[in-house]
Amino acid sequence: MADVKKIATRESYGNALKELAPKYKNLVVLDADLAAATKTGIFKKAYPDRFFDCGIAEANMMGVAAGLAASGMTVFASSFAMFAAGRAFEIVRNSIGYPGLPVKIGATHAGISVGEDGATHQCCEDIALMRTIPGMTVIVPADDVEAKAAVEAAILHNGPVYLRFGRLAAPVFNDPATYHFEIGKGITLRDGKDITIIATGLMVAEAMEAAKTLEAEGIDARVLNIHTIKPLDEELVLKAAAETGKIVTVEEHSIIGGLGSAVADVCSAKCPCQITKIGVNDEFGQSGPAADLLKLYGLSAENIVKTVKEVLGR
């Protein structure tokens, strides 16, 4: 996909906030001293009076966000996924989740594609953490078009939302003219009857590339883009389970508790089938260039192809 335009979804996030600010007058943005990296700095520059830096204090930031939301403000609270979902978990759970306050958590730098900063900053547990909170919507956009649409959908959703964005530039494959985003509605990017590859976030483009390679080898793979991990599009997943019988899930997240687990949860109860999870195995990441790390940890089209062939015994 060398010829395709690439934009990091964190960039899309910052741009979307700025673009939506005139439309949503009550929109305010919080950050925890990472505005330059999370790209909320784009919003800050355009609307300094509606941006509040909370300093390096994510717990308080989440509580402040709750108070603002309780007072009718539309509030985004941003940090790296590690700190937004990890460090501040209990505040998100008790001050935002329990009262059901419509805080939008914009978490960037998710997954190992953080790259050189290494394991302390590579959050592969956030989807698992966030999806256990009752009423929390968990969205992982795959590209620029989807990320921007997700930001506005989150604003319009009357409840807490966790938005997961990446640091690495991601290929833009959706067409803004025809793309439609709906929370909880997965997207069939490619139909197929032999197997279904269910992907989210940065891995959706890899899944599409893998499907093309597989097609050339005579394997007809369906590809689903599950941008909303919770609530999961059960209907679409179960249909794939029933029609293709085999599923491979792909996510830039731990194989414990993320997309793969969500898919397995619903299939094991309603349509048992063979599910193989591709993700970060039960281990920490390490420093290195993002592209190399993704390959090393098997988060590549190449590994998806290999895994699908193994599952199908080809």
Partner 1 sequence: MERAEKRKLEIIATKIRLGVIEGTYHAKSGHPGGSLSIADTLAYLYWEEMNIDPQNPKMEGRDKLVLSKGHCAPALYAALANRGYFPVEELQTLRHIGSRLQGHPNMNDTPGVEMSTGSLGQGISAACGMALAAKLKNDGSRVYTILGDGEIEEGQVWEASMFAAQYKLDNLVAIVDNNNLQIDGPITEVMSSYPITDKFSSFGWHVIPVYAHDFDQLEAAFKEARTVKGKPTAIIQKSIKGKGVSFMENQVSWHGTAPNAEQYEQAKAELTAALQALEQA
Minimum CB–partner distance for residue 125 and partner 1 (Å): 21
Q: Are 232 and 266 in contact (CB under 8 A)?
A: yes
Q: Are 33 and 7 in contact (CB under 8 A)?
A: no
Which one of the listed residues 58, 206, 209, 252 is annotated catalytic?
58
CA gap 244, 268 in Å, rounded: 15
Q: Are 97 and 137 in contact (CB under 8 A)?
A: no
Q: In the block, which residue shows the tokens 């592209």? A: 291
- Cα-Cα-Cα-Cα dihedral of 233, 123, 280, 191, to 10°? 30
In terms of CB distance, is 74 or 225 closer to partner 1?
74
- What's the burial of 52, exposed, middle or buried (CB within 10 Å: 0-12/13-18/19+)? middle
Minimum CB–partner distance for residue 68 and partner 1 (Å): 4
Minimum CB–partner distance for residue 49 and partner 1 (Å): 9
> Which is it for strands 27-31 and 51-53: parallel, antiparallel or unpaired?
parallel
CA gap 150, 312 in Å, rounded: 35
In terms of CB distance, is 66 or 195 closer to partner 1?
66
Residue 11 is a catalytic residue? no
In terms of CB distance, is 132 or 287 closer to partner 1?
132
In terms of CB distance, is 32 or 195 closer to partner 1?
32
Binding site for partner 1 (CB under 8 A): 28, 52, 54-55, 57, 59-73, 75, 90-91, 94-95, 98-100
Beta bridge partners of 106: 78, 163
**Catalytic positions, written as ranges:** 58
